[in-house]
Amino acid sequence: MTPARILGAIIGCASIIAPGAALAESAAAAVVSPAQLAPHRAVYDLTLGQASGGKAPASARGRIAFDFSGSACEGYVQNFRQITELQPSEGPARLSDMRSATFEGGDGKDFRFRIETRLDNVPSEDIDGKAKKTGGASMSVDLAKPKQSSLALDGGALFPTEHLRHILGAASAGESILEAKVYDGSGDGEKVFDTLAVIGKPTSGAVSEKAAQIKPLEGLRRWPVAISYFEPGKRDEQPVYVLSFDLYENGVSRALKLDYGDFVLTGEMTDLAMLPASSSCNKM
């Protein structure tokens, strides 16, 4: 997974899944966030926060644009773009451009996704598919790209927004650890990632970014969250990457940190627009 593949699901995502599919449904239902997720559009500027090792870049910069809308009644729409320029110690800079567009059913059973990545303006990845849960031990996935295929994956996996709602539910309940299997369409659409989320203590104090100093966020609780992503079945090994951020109770994120092992990118919120809420919806 390249650095440009990371955030689409999570700036809006995370959750809890028990090892068995039978436990997954009851455990997940118990921690769903009672709060409504706020439609919003956010921009984050990326800079190199830390670098070590021979594979680390000498410098890095980039930007993330994230758009989230919908409700539990209508389903959730996410549009995400991350552009990252990495300058190695030797040689030319490398430019990655990842875009994703997803729709997720409000009941967490349906997921449609399209993910496109370009490296140095050359197409390198194109994933297009849909996934559906039917309540059994498996989840059906139909892919149109990169190759047409159908497969069955772990039915206990959570989709991105469902994952986010569970993280918020666990945080609100005072939980500090959350384990989940997550499916977001990455890895050629064929992978379910193991994740571990660590949730810190809530705060509602002032923040440094001007973009986050707006009335809709005033007084809202937010939690520091760090989510480690592991290759399937490799929880005992080093994570593929670790994503850290402050998560507001309405689903907005700030203070991003993307840890790829050899280097860390930090993301400062530079723009935030709260979008009109969907029509009346009593579902949570």
Sequence-distant (6+) residues with CB within 8 A of 231 are: 191, 193, 194, 237, 240
For residues 74-96, give the mean pLDDT. 94
- b or e along 92-126 (b: 16 or more beta carbons within 10 Å of the residue's beta carbon)? eebbbbbbbbbbbbbebeebbbbbbbbeeeeeebe
The pLDDT value recorded for residue 134 is 84
Cα–Cα distance measured from residue 240 to residue 229, given in angstroms and rounded to the nearest whole number: 6
The pLDDT value recorded for residue 88 is 92
For residue 64, the one-letter residue type is: I
pLDDT digits (tens, 9 = 90+) for 110-125: 999 999 999 999 999 9
pLDDT bracket for residue 36 (50, 70, 90):
confident
pLDDT at 278 over 90: no
The pLDDT value recorded for residue 21 is 29
Residue 163 backbone dihedrals phi, psi, to 5 degrees: -60, -45
Residue 194 backbone dihedrals phi, psi, to 5 degrees: -85, 135
DSSP helix/strand/coil, 50: strand
pLDDT digits (tens, 9 = 90+) for 158-173: 999 999 999 999 999 9
Q: Which has the minimum average pLDDT: 5-14, 49-58, 165-174, 175-184?
A: 5-14
- Alpha-carbon 232 to chain mean position: 17
168 is written with which tokens?
């918020």
> How confident is the prediction for the chain on average, in pLDDT?
86
Is the distance from CB of 192 to CB of 157 less than 8 angstroms?
A: yes
162 is written with which tokens?
């469902």
DSSP helix/strand/coil, 71: strand
pLDDT bracket for residue 18 (50, 70, 90):
very low
Is the distance from CB of 35 to CB of 69 less than 8 angstroms?
A: no
The pLDDT value recorded for residue 187 is 82
Cα–Cα distance measured from residue 52 to residue 237, given in angstroms and rounded to the nearest whole number: 20
The pLDDT value recorded for residue 28 is 41
pLDDT digits (tens, 9 = 90+) for 98-108: 999 999 999 99
The pLDDT value recorded for residue 32 is 57
pLDDT at 1 over 80: no
pLDDT at 3 over 50: no
112 is written with which tokens?
């449609």
pLDDT at 26 over 90: no
pLDDT digits (tens, 9 = 90+) for 190-226: 999 999 999 999 999 999 999 999 999 999 999 999 9
Is the distance from CB of 115 to CB of 127 less than 8 angstroms?
A: yes
- b or e along 186-209 (b: 16 or more beta carbons within 10 Å of the residue's beta carbon)? bbebbbbbbbbbebeeeeeeebee
The pLDDT value recorded for residue 283 is 64
For residues 31-55, give the mean pLDDT. 85
Strand partners, 132: 110, 140
Strand partners, 142: 130, 150
Distance in Å from the first CA to the final CA of the chain: 33
Domain layout of the chain by residue ranges: 3-274
Residue 217 backbone dihedrals phi, psi, to 5 degrees: -100, -10
The pLDDT value recorded for residue 84 is 96
The pLDDT value recorded for residue 35 is 63
